[in-house]
Structure 1
Amino acid sequence: MGAAVADEGFDFRPGAQVPLSGAAGQTAATFALASAAYRDNEVGEILKANNEWHKSTVKAGKLKLFVPNLGEAFSRAVHDRMLGSGRGALIQSFGTEPQVVVEHCLAANRIRRERDNWLTAVTVLCGLIFLPGLIAWLLVFQIRTMIAKREDKRASALATTLLIAFGALAVIFLLRLPFGGFWAWYARAAIVMPVVGWFWAQQICERTAKDLRARWEGLLSGGGVGAKIPEAVPGSPGETAAESLRQNLAKLSAEQQSNSVFYAGPKGILGMGTRWGSWQLAEDLVPLDESKEIHPFRSWDVIRSIHDQLRMLERGPLNTGGFPRPSIKHWVVTPIGENAGSVSRPGGTDVDAYQVKNHAIQDICNKQQFGSGDRHYLGIQWTLWDGQLVITMLITVTVLHETLRIEVTGHALGPVHPLFTTKPSAKTKQIAKSFKPWETRSKKLPLVETDEVVRLAVRAPITWYPPLLNWLGGSLALPEPFGLRHAWADQPWRHRFMADDALRAATPVLRVVHAASIKVLKENGVNTEKFGNRSSFLSTAIQDASPRKADVYDA
C-alpha cells in the first residue's frame, strides 16, 4: 500500500499562521502543543506527558554538556518526523492544526539558528583560537556538571568549589608565568578570552531566551503569535530547499484531511481515542407482508439516510443552545496491530490526495463486512473546549444472511497534558536572609545561567549537522504511529464537564441513527416491530451510559 501524494488542491500559502480552515475554537490545543517548541525546561519533562498507550522516550547522548532542552528536542523531533525526507504516514490530529505546530517548530529552529550563528562566531574568536584554555575550562565545567547532577547537597557545593578553585589557579597562572615572550601572552589570552567569550555569549543567550519565552507566553495567552518562516517561501525558481519545504507543508495539510484512519485494537482508532461505549441493534429482515418479498436495498442506502438525518442534529424544538455544527464524514478504517510501529495509507487509483474516493467508500460499505479488508464507518464529530475535547460517534451497518446490524460506538479524545498549558515563570531561588537565617527570601535568577551559556556555546558550532549533535547530546524519540494530538492526550473522564459532554452526545445520536434506519426499512417493506422494540430498549439503556474500555475484551 503506497502513500498518496498531495495535489495542487492542497497547497501552502504563507501568511497569518493562525488556524483558519474549519478550526474555529480549536486554537487552545494547537497553541499549547506549539508552545513546546519555545520552552527551556529539561527534555525529560516531556516524559510526564506520556499517556497509557503512547509514550515518548529520550535517547541518551554521549556527553551531558550537549544534552538539548525540551524546546530544542521537541522542535527538532517534530520537524524531522513531519517534514523529513521519506517520512512515514502520520495520524490525523483532530481538534488541532498540525501545520501551525510545525510552523512554530520551524520558527523556533530559525530563532535558535540565528543565535547559534552568533555563538559560533564567539566560540571561534574567543575559544578555538585559544583552544588550550577553552579545553581546560570545558573540562572543569564537564566535571562540575557530573558532580552537580548528584542529589547529595555536598556534591553540589563541591562542584561550585571546584570552579572557584580553578579560577583562583588561573589568576595565579596569569600573574606568575614560568616563561615569557609571545607564548606567555598567548597563555594569558587562552585563560582570559574564554571568560570574555562567556560574557559576550551570555548577552546573546539572554536576548534569545527573552524572545522565546515571550512567544511561549503569547501562545498560551491567546495572543495568536505568528510563526515567521521565510525559508518556506521560494524567492526564485532555483530555491529547491524552500520549494521542497513548501510542498512538504502542503502534503502535511492534505494528510490531515484524509478520510482514512487506523484501528489499533485496545488503543482504539488512532487520533480519535479509545472506544468508551458500544450499542448494537441487530434483528432479522422479515417482510412486512409475508406474501411479498422485501424490496432490495443496500447498506449504503441506510448509511445515506443516517447521514442526512445527522445533519439535522444542530436543530431542535427549543432555543436552548444544544449541539454546535458537527463534522460528518465517511471513514475508511484499516485494522493494524496494537503495537504496530508504522501505518500505510491506502493507495492506487481509488485514492486522490490522501482521500479515498466516494465510489470506493460505497463498495467497502456494501461488500467488505466480513473477513479481511478495510471497513466503512460514518462518523459525526464535535471539537469542543477550544480543541481540548474531541467527541466522535461512529456508525456502521452490516447485513449477514438475514440479519441487519446497526452499531454505534463512542470515542473520546481528552485534553492535551497540562505540561503543555503551563506558562513560563521567572527563575527564582530561595536563600536565607543575612541577619535572619531562619527566614528566606526569593532571589531572581538570570534566564540563562552559567552552565546554560556554556552548553549553548559548545553546541552552536555543530548545530548545522543535527545527526552529530543528536549522537553527542541525545534526542527525543516520538511515539509511533505518530500524530501530534493523540500522542500527548489525557483521558477526558477526569474533567467533569468534558465527561458530561461526551456521555450526553450518545443518546440523541443513537436515537437519530435508529429512526433513520427504521425509516429506510419501512420504505423497503421490512417488518420493523422487532427493530422498534430493540431500539426502545437501547434508548432506555443508553440514558445510564458510563465510560468503559469497550475495546478491552475480558476473554
Structure 2
Amino acid sequence: MSVGTEWDGPQVPVSGDEGQAATFALASAAYRDNVIEEIKKTDNEWHQSTVKAGRWKLLRPNLGEAFSRAVVDRMLAPGRKPLIQSFGAEPQVVVEHCLAANNIRRERDNRLSVVMVLCGLIFLPGLIGWLLVFTLRSLVVRRDDKRAGALATALLTGVGVLAVLFLLKMPFSGFWGWYARACVVAPVLGWFWAKRICERAARDLRARWDGLLSGSSVGAKVPEAVPRSPGETAREALRQSLARLSAEQRSNSVFYAGPKGILGMGTRWGAWHLAEDLVPADPNREIHPFRSWDVVRAIHDQLRMLERGPLNTGGFPRPSIRHWIVTPIGENAKEVSRPGGTDVEAFQVKQHAIQDICNKQQFGSGDRHYLGVQWTLWDGQLVITMLITVTVLHETLRIEVTGHALGPVNPLFTTKPAAPTKEVAKSFKPWENRTVNLPLVPTDEVVRLAARAPLTWYPPLLNWLGGSLVLPEPFGLRHAWADQPWRHRFMADDALRAATPVLRVVHSAAIRVLKENGADTERFGNRSSFLSTQVQDPTPRKADVYDA
C-alpha cells in the first residue's frame, strides 16, 4: 500500500517492496519522455516492437505516451487476445501505472485544449501559420547536417522578425487590422501559457519515473477503477478487466513456440534425459502397475524439500512448484488460444484434467504436462524454471528435465531521468567545452503537446495522424523486453547451479517409486550417475534449436 495517500482507488505495492524491480522498471516506461524510437533498442532475435509512423510528424507521441496507451489498449480492451504470463513481474501494477500516467496527461491536455481554443482556434489563421513554421523547423532539425540546428534557429528568428515587421506595418486597418495583429500575438501568448502547464506535468511525470527506480513510495492512483454506484458501467468494466488480467496471470497454461522456448519462461538452455527399460527386480514377479502421475507426484513432494540442506549456508529460497499444461504453437504465431471447456475454470486447468493429460497425452498431438519448479531472483530480474516431464512408451520410462531462464528487463527501462543538458564550446577557450542546462520542456515540445491536446479526445484519429506503438505478439509484458541472462556473470551462475540439485532430486524420487513398485533400478541408477556428471558442464546451449 502506498504511504500517505488518500484517494478512492486501488493501491498497488510501492517500489520499496521486495521482488518488484522488474515490475517497476517496466512501469516507469509509462512516465518517460524519451523519443518513441528508443523502444527499438529493446529488440532482440525473438521479439521486435514496431513504431507505426503517422501522417504528421508534429503530432508524433513520445515513448511514455505511446507505451502507456498501447499497454492499456492491449491488456484491458474488451475482446482482447489472450496474454502471456509475466513471470517475475506483476502486470496489473504496470497497467495501473499506465492508467495513472494517462490520467496525468489527460489533465494536462484538458488545460492545453482550453489554451488552444482561446489562443488558437479563435485566431486560426495565426495558429496555422505558426504550426507551419514549426513543422518546417522540425524538418530542418531532423537533417543529419551539423548546421541543421543553426538553420532551424535562424528560421525561427527570421519568422519572428517578419512577425514584428508585420505588426508595425500592418496592411489592414479597422477591425481586420486588429484581428490580424491578434492572430500573430495570441498564439505566442498561448505558447507561454502552455509552457507552464507542460512543465508542471513534466515535473510530476519525471518525479514518478525517478521514484519507481529509486525505491521511494510511488503508488498508482486509479480512482476510475472503483465503482461508486451500480450505474457506473465504465468503472465496473475497468474493474472487471483488471480482475481478468490478474486471473490470467495465475493461469497454469503456457505455450511452447519452438526456438523461442516456452513464452514467458525463456528459451530452453539445457535438457537432460533419463530413459531406461522397466524390468522387474524379481524375474518371478511382475512390476506393480503404476502411472506417470505417481512418479510426478513423488517428484513434486520431494521438490518441496529443496530449500532444506545439511548446512546452514543460505541455499535455495522457497521455489514455486506448479503443474503446467504446455500447448504447442508455431514459432511465428501472432496469437495464442487458451484451453477452454468444462475442464478449465478462471484460466486454471482443473486437477483431474491435469492428471489425464499427464497419464495419456504422451505421444502425438495435443497438450503436454510438465511439473515446474521456479525461482524468481534478483528482485524479479531473473526467472529460473526447471521443467520435468515423465512419459512411459511401451516398456521405457523416460524422465526429462529442461532448464529455462528469463533474464533482466532491457536496460532502457532501468535508466533514470537526467536533466537535459548540452555540451558547448567556451567563448574564449574554444578547445574546451562546458555543460549548459536546457529547458525541461523545449519549445518544440510545447508546440507538439499543444497541437496534440485537442485530438486526445479521439485516440484513433490521433494515432492515425501522429503514429503509435505496435507491441510484439504474442504479447506478455515481461518476456517481450527481457534480455538473456548469460551476459551477467552471477545471474548465469545462478541458472546453471540450479540444474544439478533439481536433477538429483528428480532422479532419487523416481528411483524410489520404481523400487516401491518392484522395478529394477540398477540401469536407472547408472544412467542417473552419468547425468549427474554431465549436468556439471557449465555451458548453456540453445537446446530448442535442433541441428538436423
Give the letter aligned to residue 12 of structure 2.
Q
Aligned pairs for 1:479-494 within 5 A:
479-494=472-487
> In 1, Cα distance between the equivalents of 2:516 and 2:186?
89
Q: Which residue of 1 aligns with 2:137?
A: 144
2:415 alignment partner in structure 1: 422
1:335 equivalent in alignment to 2:334 = no
2:69 maps to amino acid? R
| Matched residue, 2:255 | 262
Q: 1:441 aligned to 2:428? A: no
* Counterpart position of 1:397: 390
Kindly indicate whether residue 240 of structure 2 is the aligned counterpart of residue 211 of structure 1: no
Match of 1:535 in 2: 528
Superposed CA RMSD: 1.2
- Structure 1 residue 544, shift from structure 2 partner: 1.8
* 1:282-325, Cα deviation, whole Å (9 max, x unpaired): 00000111111110000000000000000000000110000000
CA contact (8 A) 1:119 1:204 kept: yes
Q: Report what 1:8 is aligned to.
A: none
Residues of 2 paired with 1:489 and 1:302: CA distance? 34
- CA-to-partner distance for each residue in 1:347-388, whole Å, 9 max, x for gaps? 000000000000000000000000000000000000000000
Counterpart of 2:11 in structure 1 is 16
2:77 to 72, 84, 89: 84
* Aligned counterparts of 1:160 and 1:446: Cα–Cα separation in 2: 15
Q: Within 5 Å, which residues of 2 pair with 1:170-189?
A: 170-189=163-182
Q: How does 1:31-430 map to 2 (within 5 A)?
A: 31-430=24-423
Provide the C-alpha distance between the structure 2 equivalents of 1:367 and 1:179, rounded to a whole number of angstroms.
89
The correspondence for 1:499, drawn from 488, 492, 499, is 492
1:14 CA drift (Å): 4.6
Compute the displacement of 1:158 (Å).
1.7
Alpha-carbon offset, residue 543 of structure 1: 1.4
Q: 1:180, 1:350 → 2: CA distance?
A: 81
| Distance (whole Å) between structure 2 residues aligned to residue 38 and residue 14 of structure 1 | 19
User: For residues 14 and 380 of structure 1, do their structure 2 counterparts lie closer, same or farther at Cα, with a shift above 3 Å needed?
Assistant: farther
Secondary structure of the structure 2 residue equivalent to 1:247: helix
Secondary structure in 1 aligned to 2:391? strand
Count of residues in Structure 1 that have an aligned counterpart in Structure 2: 541
For residue 26 of structure 1, report the CA deviation from its aligned partner: 1.9
1:477 matched residue in structure 2: 470
Secondary structure in structure 1 of the residue aligned to 2:536: helix
1:390 aligned counterpart, secondary structure: strand
Q: Deviations along 1:421-475, whole A, 9 cap, x unmatched?
A: 0000000111222333332211111110000000000000010111101100110
> Residues 155 and 545 from structure 1, CA distance in 2 versus in 1: closer, same or farther, beyond 3 angstroms?
closer
- Aligned-partner residue type, residue 147 of structure 2: R
For 2:271, what is the secondary structure of its paired residue?
strand
Amino acid at match of 2:545: V
What amino acid does structure 2 have at the position aligned with 1:18? Answer: P
> How far apart, CA to CA, are the structure 1 residues paired with 2:9 and 2:539?
45
Measured in 1, the distance between the counterparts of 2:546 and 2:430 equals: 61
The separation in 2 between residues aligned to 1:521 and 1:436, in whole angstroms, is 83
Question: Is contact 2:23-2:94 (8 Å) kept?
Answer: yes
Report the Cα offset of residue 16 of structure 1. 2.8
Question: What is the DSSP-based 3-state SS (H/G/I as helix, E as strand, rest coil) of the residue aligned with 2:457?
Answer: coil
Contact 2:14 2:219 in 1 (8 A): no
Relative to 1, partners in 2 of residues 1:24 and 1:145: Cα closer, same or farther, differing over 3 Å? closer
How far off its partner does 1:157 sit?
A: 1.8
Task: Return 5+ residue gaps in structure 2 as ranges.
Answer: 1-7
Which residue matches 1:10? none
Unaligned runs of 5+ in 1: 1-12
Q: Would you say the 8 A contact 2:54–2:468 is kept in 1?
A: yes
Contact 2:14–2:218, Cα closer than 8 Å, also in 1: no
Deviates more, 1:457-466 or 1:429-438: 429-438
Separation (CA, whole Å) in 2 of partners of 1:48 and 1:211: 26
Output the CA distance in 1 between the equivalents of 2:354 and 2:342.
Answer: 13
Local SS of the residue matching 1:426? coil
Distance 1:486 1:547 in 2: 19
SS of 1:225 mapped into structure 2: coil
Residues 310 and 509, structure 1, Cα contact 8 Å, conserved in 2: yes
Counterpart residue identity of residue 179, structure 2: Y
Q: Does 1:522 align with 2:525?
A: no
Aligned to 1:7: none
Contact in 2 for aligned 1:25/1:385 (Cα 8 Å): no
Given that 2:14 and 2:216 are in contact with CA atoms closer than 8 Å, whether structure 1 keeps it comes out as no
Equivalent residue letter for 2:100: A
Equivalent residues of 2:48, 2:472 under 8 A apart: yes
- Distance, in Å, in 2 between the alignment partners of 1:434 and 1:283 is 81
Could you report, residue by residue, the CA deviation over 1:496-521 in whole angstroms, capped at 9, with x for unpaired residues?
A: 00000000000000000000000000
Q: Distance in 1 between matches of 2:432 and 2:518?
A: 85
Contact 1:19 1:26 in 2 (8 A): no
Normalization by structure 2: what TM-score? 0.97
2:3 corresponds to which residue? none
- State the distance in 2 between where 1:360 and 1:178 align: 84
Query: How many Å separate the matches in 1 of 2:254 and 2:114?
Result: 48
Measure the CA separation in 2 of the matches of 1:272 and 1:224.
29
Deviation at 1:345, TM superposition (A): 0.2
Q: Deviations over 1:12-45 (max 9, x none)?
A: x95431179xx97321000000000000000000
Are 1:467 and 2:457 counterparts?
no
Q: Distance in 1 between matches of 2:242 and 2:345?
A: 17
Q: Is the 8 A contact 2:324 2:369 kept in 1?
A: yes
Q: Give the letter aligned to residue 335 of structure 1.
A: P
Structure 1 CA distance for aligned equivalents of residues 418 and 389 of structure 2: 49
- 2 CA distance for matches of 1:461 and 1:218? 30
Q: Once the two structures are superposed, what CA deviation does each residue of 1:390-430 show, in whole Å capped at 9, x if it has no partner?
A: 00000000000000000000000000000000000000111
